Amino acid sequence: MSGLSARLAAVVEALPLRPGIRVLEIGGAPGAAAREVARRVGAGHVLVVDRSATGVEAIRRTAATEIAAGVLSVRCTSIEEFTLLPGEEPFDLAFAVRVGALDGRYPAAGAVAVARIAAALTRHGQLFVDGGDPLRQIPV
């Protein structure tokens, strides 16, 4: 897992990833975790959403190879405003590291964010955030 901090490496290792799944990463700039997740899901797909246009541009630069291969995409939006695009398949798993709406810093935004994430997940989809050892699962 070259290029990942020890913390992000632990997060990626803790995710229940398997080949072929669709993963939503929330607040993923500059894209290091997303690239490793994309490598692990193989023919699956990773969508990274980030509210910062600067962050999205960083992801586009650092993950250009994965984006060109069609295994990773990026969208500039807050998770509180996120919705699936028409015809877009739901996600099997979502995760976030240091996202204020999901780590307890902003409870009102968190309620909206969890509802938006739940609407974008499959029936058995799972949401993981930092704050556990290294992750905790949030019921959706």
Kind plus residue range of the DSSP H or E element containing 26? strand 22-26
* SS3 at position 9: helix
Q: Which residues of 2-15 are buried (b: 16+ CB within 10 A; e: fewer)?
A: eebeeebbebbebb
Would you state the pLDDT for residue 71?
Answer: 97
What is the DSSP track for 39-76?
HHHTTSEEEEEES-HHHHHHHHHHTHHHHHTTSEEEEE
Containing domain of residue 39, as a range? 6-138
In this prediction, residue 1 has a pLDDT band, given cuts at 50, 70 and 90, of low
| CATH code for the domain of 80 | 3.40.50.150
Question: Which residue has 């692990």 as its token pair?
Answer: 40
Give residue 2's pLDDT.
Answer: 58
Instruction: Tell me what pLDDT residue 50 has.
Output: 97
Query: Residue range 30-34: average pLDDT?
Result: 96
Per-residue pLDDT, averaged over 109-127, amounts to 97
* Mean pLDDT of all residues belonging to the chain: 95
Examine residue 123 and state whether it is found in any structural domain, yes or no: yes
Q: Is residue 1 in a domain?
A: no
Q: Stretch 79-98: mean pLDDT, rounded? A: 97
- pLDDT tens digits, 41-80: 999 999 999 999 999 999 999 999 999 999 999 999 999 9
Distance CA 2, CA 99 (A): 23
Q: Cis (ω within 30 of 0) for the bond into 30?
A: yes
Residue 48 inside a domain? The answer is yes
Quote the CA–CA distance of 4 and 130 in Å, as a whole number.
Answer: 16
Q: How confident is the model at residue 103 (pLDDT cuts 50, 70, 90)?
A: confident
- pLDDT reported for residue 104: 86
Q: DSSP string covering 75-110, please?
A: EE--GGG--PPTTPPPEEEEEESS-TTTTTS-HHHH
User: Tell me, what's the pLDDT at 131?
Assistant: 87
- What is the number of domains present in the chain? 1
pLDDT at 102 over 70: yes
